[in-house]
Each structure stands twice: as C-alpha cells, then as structure tokens.
Structure 1
Amino acid sequence: MDYFLTEEQQMIKDTARELSEEKIIPKRAELDEKNEFAGAILKDIAKADLFSIFVPEEYGGFGGGCFETVLALEELARGCVGVATSFAANGLGLLPVVIAGSKEMKEKYLPALAEGSSWAAFGLTEAGAGSDAAGIKTTAVLDGDEWVLNGTKQWITNGGEAQIYTILALTNPEKGIRGASLFLVEDGDPGFTYGKKEDKMGIRASATRELIMKDCRIPKDRLIGKKGTGFITVMKTLDVSRPSIAALAVGLGQAALDEAVVYAKQRVQFDKPIISFQAVQHMLADMAIQVEAARSLVYGTARHIDAHPKDMSKGSSMCKVFATDMAMKVTTDAVQVMGGYGYMKEYPVEKMMRDAKILQIYEGTNQIQRNVIGQELNKEYA
C-alpha cells in the first residue's frame, strides 16, 4: 500500500532496509547463538545517521517525530528484533531529556546521542515494580550539591552498554509515585554498577542487565525536569515510545511472512508447491492481512501522535497490543507453514518466533495496555 511518504521519510525507510540487508541479516544468527550485543552494528546505524531521528534539530538531530522513528524501526526489525530493540531503547532513554530536560542538559547530552557516539537506556522496572510502577523502591536524597541514589533497576535494555541512563527514583516516598523524580545517571558515576548480563529466550543481540545504585552520587543538575514530576514524564515518554514496539512487531511479522511465502513456493509435496494448496494459501492470506492491518494502525497512530501530542494514550496502547499480538501469531504460523524446517535453527523463523514473545511483555504488558484502553473508553463515554 502507498502510505504517501515524503522524500525524507522514504530515505529513512530505504536506509534502514539497506542496513538490515547488508549489516544485520548476515550476522543475526551468530549474534543470537553467542548472546552477543550488536555494538558494531549499532555503530553502522550511527554512521548512517539514524540515531539523529530522535533528537531535535537545534541539538544536532534530524528532528523526526514518532512516524519517522516507526519507519526506521520497522525496517531494522525485519533484520533482527534484538538489534532493533537496542536502537529503540536508545530513543526511550533519551526521550525524557527531550521532553523535560533543561536547555543546558539538552546541550550537553543530545548532540552525542544524535551522532550515536553515546547511547542511552531507560531505568524504570524493578524486581517489585513491573506493571505496577507505583511499587518502585529506588530513592534519591539531596545531600548538598549532590543527589544520592539507592536502589536496583531490573531488565534494563542496553544496561552496561549505554553511557547515560534515565532513572526514576522516589524523592518524597511519603507521596508514593507522586513523589518520584527522574534523574540522569552516567556510566562511571560513583556507586553505579551493573548486574550480570541476562540469558534470554529471544532478542539475544540486545543486552539486558540490572542497574545497581549504592550511594550513587550525581550532581544536583542531573535532575530531569522538576522534582516530583518524574512519573508524569515517564508516562509521556511511554505514550510516545509504544508505537516503536508496535513497529518492531510489524517488521518482524513482515519478515516472517516473507520467509513463509518463499518457502511455500519452493517446497514441493504431492508433486506441487505447497502454496498451491488452499489450506496453506489461507494461512498466508491471514498472515498478510494481519501484517498490513497492523502497519496501517501503527502508521496512523504515529502520525496522530505527531499531530496531537496531548491525545495519545489510547491509540498508543491500541497499536502496541494489536501489532505485538499479530507478531506472535504470524511468526507461529510461519513456523507451521514451514513444518519441521521452521522449527530448526537453520531457518530464521525459529528465532523470529522466540523474539516475538517479548514484544507482548516489555514497555507495558498487553494486559496492562488493555487496561489503559478500557480506562480511556470509560472516560470517553462518561
């Protein structure tokens, strides 16, 4: 379908697809097998200037919106969701600075993030605070001209690889989540260390680690926005970033569909390619319908967010749910179409099926997204 992309948008999409074909696909099986962080590929992505998409022009970036980000992520995910997740997590980590950071903070950190010489990560989740962000225990106490942070963040993408981390911590625990603030922590800050690298089912080309803060001291000016507004900034960040996860799902679904169709045209049974059998045709048709429907919803939502940034929670959650549920089904069906071959690591759909599962979990489980959608509907029909 023609989505009427501008020349610049088509360039972003073409550049990301070229990176997928030339840099990501040849390495994805090896990275998955070795559980190896794709740092070299991220540097290639930086050379192609895609890291600049997230950053406003006045700080050295492209100044793209949600839609431009979605276009890049979809194509990178066609190559490998693990690599694309690392790229997406960088955007998630720097968005709070873009949304609420001071001019001085933006001038200091955003240019390096735009050129990809510095990477970011986002520290929200804790052992006792996943879907329930109000359960965070990490604290930040002002001591003279420094904030002292104590706590642990869990399942952090780019943990140990990024140079800057946006961390949500309680500055007024008596107020609960309304007493939370956001901070910028740098790799190498005193009292800031990492846990072991997690051994995951999928997205193994990305790095996931704990962030450990034990009397971690950072300068007073590393507060992002105003004290006590951290959770508001986090919610604004997630509303903008959830279509990115949906875009990963669209790219993954398209890749799985491509593999299944090519295989079905080549695989002969009963003296015919299996694509000639109606049972297989119907599976492929349903897969194609679901991928294109998800793409339309994600693109439409991203454009809506860029045009109406204050009205996006429901749409953001809807595209995240629909697209990631689609990816899980389409990758599973791709394995089914390919039969025993699909189950073997020699073929990429086995990896795609493993990668798909996390999309329904991270950045807010699909069950939580349905809660958000239901709550918004309740407000609309009040």
Structure 2
Amino acid sequence: MDAAGTANTPLRTRVAWVDVAKGFCIIMVVMMHSTLGVEKAVGANGWMNYVVEFARPFRMPDFFMIAGLFLSARITAPLRLYVDRKILHFAYFYVLWLTIQFVLKAPEFASDYGWGGALLFYLKSFVEPFGTLWFIYHLAIFFAVTRLVHGRVPAWLVWLVAAGLEIAHINTGSMLIDEFASRFVYFYTGFILADAIFRFADRADRHLLFGVGYLAVWSALNAACVFGGISKLPGISLGLGFAGAVAVCTFSVLLAKTFVLRPLTYLGANSIVVYLAFFLPMVVTRSILLKLGVITDIGTISLLVTAAGVIGPVILYEFTRRTGWGTFLFVRPAWARIDQPWRSKPGQKAAIAPAE
C-alpha cells in the first residue's frame, strides 16, 4: 500500500491510475470481508457473492503488485532510511491496530480461552499475523526480503522461486508462511517489471480499443475459470493473478478518465487508512442491519455494510486530520521513527510519516 509515496505527496508526483487501482482494490477487499461476514451470519449467500468470487483471483495480487511498482527508486536507499520507511512504518501500524482490535475483542477471547489464553493469543499475533492485518504484516516482510536479496541473488532466480512457491499452494496452517508463499511473487513482479507494467498502462491509455479488448477477453476468461471451478488449480491461479492484476491496472487507466477519478484517487492515496479501520464500522453496521430486519435481501445488506466499511474509516481519518485528535491512529509520530531527519535543522518541526 506504500506504492506511490506518502499521502501528502503533491498530486503531480503521483501516478493517477495507480491511486485509482488502489482505491478500486480496497473497495474489493472491504467488499469481500463484508459480504462473507453477512453470509456467515445469516447462513446463506446473496448476489454479492458472485462479485466477491469473481474478484478473488486478482484482489490481493493486484494490491501486492502495485506495492512493488515504485520500489526500484528506493531499494538502494540508506539502510536506516529504508528500514524506517519500509519496515518499521508498517510495524508501527500493525502493532497499534493489533492492540486496538485485541482490546475490542478481549472479552470474547477471555470467555473462550480465559484471560491467560487471551494474552497468549495477543503475544502470538506478533509472530502469526492477526485477522485482516496480515496484509501490512506481510508488506513489511516483503520489503525486507527484497532488500536482502537485491544485488545478491539474480532477479530471475528470485522470481522463479517465488512463482514456484505460489504454484505449490503451500498450506501449513501458518498464515505467515502460507501468505508469503502465495503473494510474494506478485510484489516482486511489480518491483522488477515496473517499467513494463507502466508501458502497458500507457498503451491502454493511448489506445482505448486495446484496453477495452484486453478487459473483455480477460473478464470472460476469469469468469470461466472462477465459476468453472478451476481458478484455484496450481499454475492457473498464478496466471489469473497476473492477468487480473494487469486488468485492474488497465481498468484503472480507463477509470482515471471518468468522474470517479477523484473519489477513487482519494481512497487509493489513503487505502491503508481504510484497511486499518474498516473492521469496526463493518461489524457494527452488519449487526444493526441484521437485528433491525428492515432489509431482508442478503446482497443489499452486504452492499450497505461494504459502504459503511469504506466510508467509516474515511470519516474517522478526516476527523483526526482536521481536529488533530488521535492523529497517531493514521500518522506515525516522530517518536516511532529511527531516521529522524528533522534533527538536521535545529528548531525544525518534527517530521511525521503518514499511514499511506
């Protein structure tokens, strides 16, 4: 999610379609959790389930591929700066929001496992990613691994190993291991093939028929594989992941020409804000709608819960930004940094690192 710089980077230095893609994908992620949560609660599927399943092959691959797109310009940064911006950055938000989620769920955990078991579960979450926070946990790992192998191991060999891990469909039961094995190839591909991806996007931008044609062929193929029950097969899942990630980039290039540019760009520039905080408005809205019983269509409920999961974090973020209260929720404070560039100029205000 740290694909295009920081949230306060001037727009002219950002790539519009990248933010649009991130905005589109964060909606897809919230939609998945919202829809599956509603369907689990009611014990039945709604029409939104088809959208969620269609997006499954490319939803996370695209996020990770985009996260690696701009890394080439930073991979050789001084180690202290790199660790601060690419590892500790995500570690701070992981620990903070892990603690927030744990506090909210502690009574439930204590009732199931006792307070000792609940505390052990919390400590274990520093090794095994907790719930929806696994994405930023793995981003820190991906940035660290890429830095370690860069210049030491041939890129083609790293890619082959990463692709092999995805094709192997490793299932150890450990989210740390399993998600690394299935996702790292997309992040690394974004890193080593960034120029090719940008050239493809530029071609889709200049040739409308090319972009639309690709999307038409891809959507038919993706739907056939997903609803034909073969999208998760070894090799096919990798191909669909890449094809879908490129499709999202292409779709985002086209969307960037429409009226949805501004809202999706905003969501993309602040995608980690939504990712960190969507769980609470999602759960609250789901509970209220199901208890009221005014709306009975499962798909519609899922859509409303999705909207709440996206809008809720934005409202909270804007509140903290405009009032200055609780800014630590989304902006990494000076004490949580190790590069501390402000010290070079006496009297300069301490720098902060936004969540995005």
Select the structure with the greater relative contact order (CA < 8 A; seq sep ≥ 6): 2
In terms of fraction of residues, the more helix-rich structure is 2
The TM-score with structure 1 as length reference comes to: 0.28
Name whichever structure is richer in strand by fraction: 1
